[in-house]
Amino acid sequence: ELKVEQNPLFLSMQEGKNYTIYCNYSTTSDRLYWYRQDPGKSLESLFVLLSNGAVKQEGRLMASLDTKARLSTLHITAAVHDLSATYFCAAQETSGSRLTFGEGTQLTVNP
Amino acid sequence: DAGVIQSPRHEVTEMGQEVTLRCKPISGHNSLFWYRQTMMRGLELLIYFNNNVPIDDSGMPEDRFSAKMPNASFSTLKIQPSEPRDSAVYFCASSHLAGGHETQYFGPGTRLLVL
C-alpha cells in the first residue's frame, strides 16, 4: 500500500525567507503531484513530476523529484503572504489512476 | 471548459435524511473521484470510477454511502440515512491520461452539515 508523508505539517515563516517542504512516499511511484488549497477553497494543481530528477518552477515555488530516495520537495523562495495556504503532495501508483495524498502542510507567511 | 461542477455547494440537513451530491466532470475526462475532507481525517478517497465503472470503493465508509455514474458526464454520491459524523466537505475530481500523467482537477466542493 502506497503511503505518503509530508513534513512539516505546520510551517510559519517570515516574508522574504526560504524554506522547503518534504514529501516521502513508501513504494515505487513515478508520478508525483503538488496541490495548493486556500482556506475554504478547493485543491488547485501546481506541479506534476514524472521522472527522477524532474524539476518544475512557478514563481517562488520549485518542486523536485528523487525517485530513488522516494522524495519530493517543494522549495519556497523569498516567501510572500500570498503563498499562505495548505500544500499537498500526492503520489500515484504505477498502475491505476488513484492518488494517495499526504496530510498537507499548512503554510503561514507572516509580514 | 467550466471545470468540474458540483451541486449543491452547501447542504444543511437533519440526521436521518437522505443527501444526494452531484458532480459533472470535465468533458473528455474518463476518471472520476469522490473525496471527503475533514479536519480530523484529512482528505480521504471514497470511490473512483474509470469509464463510468467503479474501480475502487474501499474508502466508502459504510453501506449508508453509495455512488453512481450513469454516464460520462454525471455522478452522484448518496448518503442515506445521514448522520452528524458525515459532516464534511465532499470533493469531486476528474482526470484523464495526457502527457504521461493524470492530473486530477477538483470541483469547488459541497459543504455538508448534518444536524
Please write the tens of the pLDDT for every residue from B65-108.
999 999 999 999 999 999 999 999 999 999 998 888 889 999 99
B-chain residues within 8 Å CB-CB of A42? Answer: 91, 106-109
Provide the pairing of β-strand B10-13 with B110-114. Answer: parallel
B-chain residues within 8 Å CB-CB of A45? Answer: 103-105
- State the first-to-last Cα distance of chain B, in angstroms, to the nearest integer: 36
Residue A62 has pLDDT above 70, yes or no: yes
Residue A111 has pLDDT above 90, yes or no: no
The pLDDT of residue A98: 87
Provide the pairing of β-strand A10-14 with A105-110. Answer: parallel
Task: Look at residues B4, B9, B1 and name the one whose alpha carbon lies nearest to residue B95.
Answer: B4
Which candidate from B48, B93, B101 shows the least CB-CB separation from A48? B101
Q: What angle do CA B17, A42, B8 make, to 5 degrees?
A: 30
The pLDDT of residue B88: 98
Q: What is the pLDDT averaged over residues A32-40? A: 96
The pLDDT of residue B6: 98
Mutate to test the interface with B, among A88, A89, A97 (most CBs of B within 10 A): A97
Only one residue has cell 452522484, namely B76
